Amino acid sequence: MPRLTFSSSVPRAASAVDLPIASDDMETLNPDRARAAELSGFEGKLGQTLHLPGPADEPVTVLVGLGERADLTADVLRRAAAAYIRSISKHQAAACTLAEEPSPVDAGDAVEAVAIGLGLGSYSYTDQKSKPPAETLRRVTVVARGSGTKAAFTRGEAAVEAVSLARDLTNEPGGSLTPVAFAAKAKKACSAAGLKLAVWDEKRIAKEKFGGLLAVNQGSTHKPRFLVIDYTPSGRAKGSVALVGKGITFDSGGLSIKSGAGMMTMKIDMAGGAAVLGAMTLLPALGSKTAATAYIPLTDNMINGQAQRPGDVFAARNGKTVEVLNTDAEGRLVLADALSYASEKKHDAIIDIATLTGAVSAALGSAYAGLMGTSDELMSAIEASAEQTGEKLWRLPLPTEYRSQLDSPIADVKNIGAGPYGGALTAGLFLKEFVSEGQAWAHIDLGLSAMADTDDGVVAKGGTGFGVRVLADLVANWG
Ligand code: BES
Ligand code: MG
Ligand code: ZN
């Protein structure tokens, strides 16, 4: 990935410089450029770019479409920056003046957005290649002046690093990213960010009566882990927020086994845990005045002679007994313990994030994650953050009418609803059973938004890192 730097002027070494242009400003181009644009179908649409070579020794001018001027937002700048950096991969050094474009977006927010667009738009995962493809582009300089723009650039860089960490973890194969390996990576990231990390091993997990995490782990040769990460601001904390992330390092479905196709992508089933870890590492850079604690249950969902059977019953941390009728509904079992535990700690709010159901994507498609919860105020705050960061969330209900679907003939609850319909909602209702009464709680079901088939805007093919920025923004702007 190219290095991002910040400067108040275009560096000499840059062989490409952008010229941002809105679709309704096309007539401001000089006749030569206007003609080149017409010939190539460049209309200033968002995502379009056009390279216009200048005289020898002068940098290439890259027209970067912004779409309609009236629609210019931070999200537009992120997408335009991502399109720009994808178009200049043949250059060694380039400049990006996008943030200098006059727009209703605050100058600092614009610089932050551009840094994020450049950094995330050029993300690629090459750790498994024997010969990582050589990259030509080495340096892109974000050009901006004005007070606060340098600090905004630094915030953008930190966001790129945090999201890239979550993407790297999500993209890593399940065979190598075991719970122990995840914990080791978390240790490195937490010490770099100055966060406190506690790693519970299987003995501690048993002592703390995490029956759900142990039940899912029963069929595995890899030991489970439970991570507790603390961020404490300097000075008096403005409240405290809990972030809980599903960390299934591979989901085979267990004895209720998935199809080959259904299993193919299931290394991503720890994307919620990765998002929570990424968000925590971003809090110091955002200068959050609010404290946060992350809780990440880690195990894979595998099969051996000890694996849990459909029909088995376990008791979760809060004492509730669960009849497991489908071992593929495992995320909710590990979250049950984590949510019960987080509830004991009296946080102002608890937010969990998980690749919990395929059903949420049947409802919303792969670009949106579902948002459910017990507190309108909390969900509105999450939506406000998502509006800023461009991660798309859509509110879904937790209908009390469906609660009886979880009644078990032999235990307190069963782990699946009555059928395939409303599967994201019955999953949400199941989680609610493990959040204490009166606790403000919200649940983000990532479904397929955790991964992408193609590059699109700041999203690159593979793990998306969805949730990192929205959760960090929520905590940093709390209260
Ligand atoms: N990890 C899956 C959900 C999932 C599937 C997320 C595809 C993203 C992409 C989860 O553990 C699961 O298997 N859920 C089941 C629940 C069902 C058995 C009630 C599902 O969605 O089919
Ligand atoms: Mg499953
Ligand atoms: Zn799963």
Shortest-distance atom of ligand 1 to CA 427: 19
CA 71 to CA 65: how far, in whole Å?
12
- Beta carbon of 47 within 6 Å of any ligand 1 atom: no
CA distances from 389 to 117, 127, 163, 279 (A): 11, 27, 12, 13
**Res 420 pLDDT > 90:** no
User: Is 201 part of any domain?
Assistant: yes
Same domain (yes/no): 41, 125:
yes
Query: Phi/psi of residue 319, each to 5°?
Result: 90, -15
Domains in the chain, number: 2
> Helix (H, G, I), strand (E, B), or coil: what is residue 432?
helix
Token pair for 340? 């019960």
Choose the catalytic residue: 139, 209, 258, 395: 258
pLDDT in tens, 48-94: 999 999 898 899 999 999 999 999 999 999 999 999 999 999 999 99
Same domain (yes/no): 349, 467:
yes
**Res 412 pLDDT > 90:** yes
Sign of the alpha-carbon dihedral angle for 252, 253, 255, 256:
negative
CA of 268 to the centre of ligand 3 (A): 9
User: Is 317 part of any domain?
Assistant: yes
CA of 423 to the centre of ligand 3 (A): 13
Choose the catalytic residue: 332, 414, 432, 469: 332
Among 438, 435, 405, residue whose Cα is nearest residue 419: 405
Helix axes 376-389, 468-476, angle to 10 degrees: 120
Same domain (yes/no): 324, 363:
yes
pLDDT in tens, 321-349: 999 999 999 999 999 999 999 999 999 99
Whether this model's pTM surpasses 0.95: yes
Query: At a CB cut-off of 8 Å and minimum separation 6, what does 64 contact?
Result: 18, 19, 20, 21, 48, 49, 80, 83, 84, 98
Same domain (yes/no): 130, 228:
no
Same domain (yes/no): 445, 318:
yes
Active site residue 223: no
CATH number at residue 56: 3.40.220.10
CATH number at residue 176: 3.40.630.10
Active site residue 188: no
What percent of the chain has pLDDT above 70?
100
Domain range enclosing 462: 158-476
Same domain (yes/no): 304, 446:
yes
Mean pLDDT, to the nearest integer, of 437-459? 98
Same domain (yes/no): 166, 88:
no
